[in-house]
Amino acid sequence: MHIRDWPHHERPREKLLARGAGSLSDAELLAIFLGSGLHGRDAVATARELLAQHGPLRVLLERPPSELTTLPGLGPARACALAGALELGNRLLHASLERGDAISDPEAAGRYFAQRLRGRSQEVFAALFLDTRHRVLGFEELFQGSVDSAEVHPREVARRALAINATALIVGHNHPSGCAEPSVADRAVTQRLKQALALVDVRLLDHFVVGDGPPQSMAARGWV
């Protein structure tokens, strides 16, 4: 059955227009880019097969465009459209956190850390430095470690905050394993960092852990 033969409310494009892109499954979103399916299958069935064989979605979309072109149902035009859409999203997110912009949406900061750190093969600890009005002064990767740990030096973080004249920080690090659940060590580092920054009148606003799925906010759990 072709998608045009589906009930109107179940078609991906109509569903997106009526309820927003967030209402679509990964396969439905991917199907919108595909436009049509392969071998007598509709675009959604083709998208589901792509995700089953080459996914999940993050793994699929982290492939370089040259690899995407070789996958069934894609090819150069669709691979370029997907890569371009991803870059547009990254640039939009980056523009919302450009130097001089105030952070009014904590979730945007989490998404920014995810964009910068997800997919890294080693743990990376980074910081967003903010002024008194929570405007972004800069983003820096401060420490790199192994596949399962990165040594964080709170004194060095405080030194960089003073050098940049920051009055607040949001920090984050990735878990290459994909599990974004904060560890006991993550919570301990957060407390040591908060105490070290307080000594120089700099506030720690949040600590995000990046893995598969949404980044996890320690502030949201009351751990900052």
- What's at 34, amino acid-wise? L
Give the mean pLDDT of the chain. 87
Going by C-alpha positions, the residue among 70, 60, 66, 1 that lies closest to residue 27 is 60
pLDDT at 99 over 60: no
Going by C-alpha positions, the residue among 68, 4, 65 that lies closest to residue 35 is 4
Which of the two residues, 90 and 121, has the higher pLDDT score?
A: 121
Going by C-alpha positions, the residue among 94, 1, 92, 91 that lies closest to residue 43 is 1
- Residue 85 and residue 68: Cα distance in Å, rounded? 14
* Confidence at residue 96, expressed as pLDDT on a 0 to 100 scale: 65
Domain boundaries, the chain: 3-94, 100-221
- Residue 161 and residue 32: Cα distance in Å, rounded? 44
pLDDT digits 0-9 by tens, 31-75: 888 888 887 788 898 999 989 998 788 788 878 888 989 998 888
* Confidence at residue 189, expressed as pLDDT on a 0 to 100 scale: 94
| CATH 3.90.1150.10 given to domain 100-221 | no
